[in-house]
Structures are given as structure tokens and as C-alpha cells.
Structure 1
């Protein structure tokens, strides 16, 4: 998030420079563009992200049309770093899954930490459907859930490719949070056990009794050594600065170091299954 704020602030500072070079006050610029006076201040101080139209209007009024291309490039880089869900999912959930599939093809090594949910690449169709239903309801985006579930299932074929490597680390909480019915969760837990045996998949589970070296603040995906993806309620963050990727890589190593693997990881999953099974049986009766 820090890099996004810095990028927005840098863009705002450049806009302020162009205004001052033109000998204009913020009030004069706003009046010329028929904007609210506060908009200029918000843009210059990085509190609001400009649109393409804002950039074109600003450079035209300040006589700096030659700067428009560079400013637009900065803006579009910022949009990639901070991609709001409402904008990203405007064409539907399935479309976003297809975009992720293209990114999957390019990536050789996936390092994934999740504290609250099962990662998309490991989800059963029923669990995925429950997640998509919640997303569509919360964000009020087009309801193409059936297609999105199919698209996610197709993405999962990448787990079987010998040229890919996957290291997943989950907390026990992610296995226990009630984000779907007990019956669906039992199927999901059974699938985790099966996938943990794949030759290119390394699955670690951090049990509740495990002392943490670094706090599990939020989930994140590290794609090769090029990008870190973080999902928030409002947006998908794409962090690509080398120091950010390095930082998250170090955090992942610390989380992965305290996780249990192999038979010990499956024991944690089985323990959760044993706890959940009576509830699922009761719901099904």
C-alpha cells in the first residue's frame, strides 16, 4: 500500500509543478476546468487518483501537453498497482479468472500464504462457488458465478504441470473459518489432503499451537520474484518494487519455517475433519 501512496503522491507533485510553472493558482486551475476547488488540492496531495481526462485537461490548461504521455504512463502504472475490484470486475468474475490464468502461465514458482481462506488454486468447485457468491454480493458485480467456477477449475490444471512449483502455507484458522457449509468444508479439507501428495506442490499448515516469528497479518501471493499480490476488501494490490518483493519473500520464509508439512500437516487437517464431521452429519440429517 505504501508504494501505491508514494506513486500517487509523486504524480500529484508533478501536477503541482506544471501548475506553478504555468503561473496559475489552484483556484484558477479549478475554475478553468469547472472543477470543485478541493479537487486540485486532492490531486496534488495524492488524496485522489486522476482520470485520463483529468490529465489531459490539466496539461492543456497549463500549456504542458508534451507532458501528457509521461503522466498517463505514470497513472496507468498506478492503476496496475492498485486495481479496485469494482473496476476490475465490471465485466464479471470469470473474466478476472481468465486474466489470472494468463498470469499463471507466465509464472514458474508460486509462493502463497493465506490466513483466512483456502487459496483459489486449491479450492473445490463448491468452496469456490461460496467465495464467488460472497464476492458478487459484497461488490455488486455481474453474477456470472457458474462461468467463474468453471474458469477457476481450468486454472487448477496448472498444478499438474511439471514445469511449475507451488509452495502453499495456510493457518489452521483458514481450515476452520465457517465460510461455507460444514459439508462443503469437509470436501475441501479432503481435497487438501489429496493435493498435498502432488510432486510439485508443497503444502504447509501452521497449527494453532505454533509460536509465530512474524504475525500473519494478511494473505499474499508471490509470483516468481517479480510480483506480490495482496487482496483487500476494495482492491487488488500488485507490488513490484524489488524491496517489496524481497520483504514479502522474507516474511514467507519465516511463516513457512514454522509450518508443518507432509504427515504432520495432514494430521492437522484430519484433526479439523474429525471436529467438523459430527456437525456436517447433524446438518445432513
Structure 2
């Protein structure tokens, strides 16, 4: 399912292509434009196909390089129009959870460094199939949306292949209450905690846990993801907020760094997980 955000980014890409092909000095090839700006050869294609969000500097360079500097204001206005975009759950989930998971799968494929903060449940990228199944079922009930639980679980597990991709890094922060939240049967939570403990030591994952006893500089508020220091995804009860403007992204990066100061890692994180595991009722 294509989102409004992605449609707007693709529309901007179409406009960029039009400017390149209508340059007053003669149409530029993508390779010529990339060479002229000192960009990687794939950048022009990614921008024109809506796979990468341009920065204001990218747009200025594009307008100048195509001999149409007057187009910059228009391009910037288009960019500002979708830098912060609310994607309502009602619209996104109209066909079930699978399309949303596929959208995130695409976003993951385009990024290499991920910073995450979660307060109430285990990160999707680290969930077991059973745990994810209960999460999707509960949210489908809440949002009154179609149930495509098994398809959604398969898409979520497909995303987890990135954990074994050496080109990707996941720096994750989890608040201790997420280890105790019984959004599933105790046996499922116990297995999930075992899986979580097993991710500590993966060379692609840095998992920090903030214990309830930790001193914190700021309150542990809304969960969020930061992709490649350029995009933030925040979830609320009614919508997802996708944020691209750099000032806001920087705010979330500072928030993440501040939270990180309260986290424990390695054997200390294992101890927090083990404590939660002991608190789970024995399996039936």
C-alpha cells in the first residue's frame, strides 16, 4: 500500500526529473548531474524515483545544475509539505497490518544505521513469531481493522533478516517495563525474553536496557526510531509521524543520546532480562 508520504516524495522525484530533462543548456543525463555535483552515481536515480528524501541543499544544487535556479523555492515548498507527515492508522490499516509492515521493510532496506527507543513492548525487529502474533491481534482489535495476522507476522520476520546483514547496525534502547508487559500469555513472554537475551552479543546489535532504578535526565516518553540520522518514525495511538526536517531529527537524536546515558549493556543488561524472566509465571 502506497502512503501519502511516499506518493509526495515520488511526485517530487518526477519534478526533479522534469527539470533535468528540460535544462536550458540541454538535457543532462543522471550520470552527468551526479559527476557535476560529486554525488554517488545512484543518488540521482534514487531521488528521481522517490527512494531517498532530498535535503534543501540537494534541491538547491539540482536547480542550479539544471540552469533553473528559480525552481528552488518550488522544490523546497514541496519538500516542506511532507517533511512531517501524519499517517493515520485508520488509513494505513484499511487493508490490514501486512502493507504497513511491507512499508517498513522498504524503509529498512534503504537505511544502514538504526537507533530505536521503546517503552512498552519488545522491538518488532527482535520479536518472536508468537509474540508478534499477539501484538498484531491486539492492535487489530483496538483499531477495528482487518486481521491479516499471519501475513503481517511473516513480513515482520522477513525484516529481521537485517540483523544478520553486516552493513546494518541497530542501536536499541529498551525501558525495563517492556520486559514485564503481559500483552501475551506468560509462556510467550518467557520465550520472547529468552530470544531477547540471545540478541546481546550480535555484532549488528547494541541493546541497552534502562532499569526502573536508573537515574534519568528526561522522562521515558514516546517510542521512536531514527533511520540514518535523517528520518524519525514516531507512533501514537491514532497515527504514525514520519519526520524528515533536520531540526526535528536532531531533537530526537539528542533525546536518544540522553536516554542512552541511563542504559546498561552486556552482562548488566542480561541481568535485567534475567530478572524479568524469573518474574514470569512458569510455563503451563
Q: Please, what TM-score do these two structures have when normalized by structure 1?
A: 0.70
Question: Where does residue 282 of structure 2 map in the other structure?
Answer: 280
Question: Where does residue 191 of structure 1 map in the other structure?
Answer: 195
Question: Where does residue 164 of structure 1 map in the other structure?
Answer: 168
Question: Where does residue 125 of structure 1 map in the other structure?
Answer: 129
Question: Where does residue 265 of structure 1 map in the other structure?
Answer: 269
SS at match of 1:280: coil
| Poorly superposed stretches of 4+, deviation over 6 Å | none
Question: Where does residue 237 of structure 2 map in the other structure?
Answer: 233
Shift of 1:103: 0.4
Aligned match for 1:104, one of 87, 101, 108: 108
Question: Where does residue 82 of structure 2 map in the other structure?
Answer: 77
Q: Aligned partners of 1:114, 1:131: CA distance in 2, in Å?
A: 14
Q: Aligned partners of 2:78, 2:94: CA distance in 1, in Å?
A: 22
Shift of 1:91: 2.0
Q: Aligned partners of 1:271, 1:96: CA distance in 2, in Å?
A: 34
SS at match of 2:208: strand
Q: Which runs of 5+ in 1 are unaligned?
A: 1-68
Deviation digits for residues 10-31 of structure 1, max 9, x if unmatched? xxxxxxxxxxxxxxxxxxxxxx
Aligned match for 1:181, one of 185, 188, 195: 185
Deviation digits for residues 161-200 of structure 1, max 9, x if unmatched? 0000100100110101111111000011000111112111
Aligned match for 2:118, one of 109, 114, 120: 114
Shift of 1:75: 9.9
Deviation digits for residues 211-257 of structure 1, max 9, x if unmatched? 11111111110111111111001000011111111111011011112
SS at match of 2:251: helix
Q: Aligned partners of 1:74, 1:253: CA distance in 2, in Å?
A: 27
CA RMSD of aligned residues (A): 1.8
Q: Aligned partners of 1:75, 1:172: CA distance in 2, in Å?
A: 37
Q: Normalized per residue, which structure has more helix?
A: 1
Shift of 1:88: 1.1
Q: Highest Rg: 1 or 2?
A: 1
Aligned match for 1:91, one of 91, 95, 120: 95
Q: Which runs of 5+ in 2 are unaligned?
A: 1-73
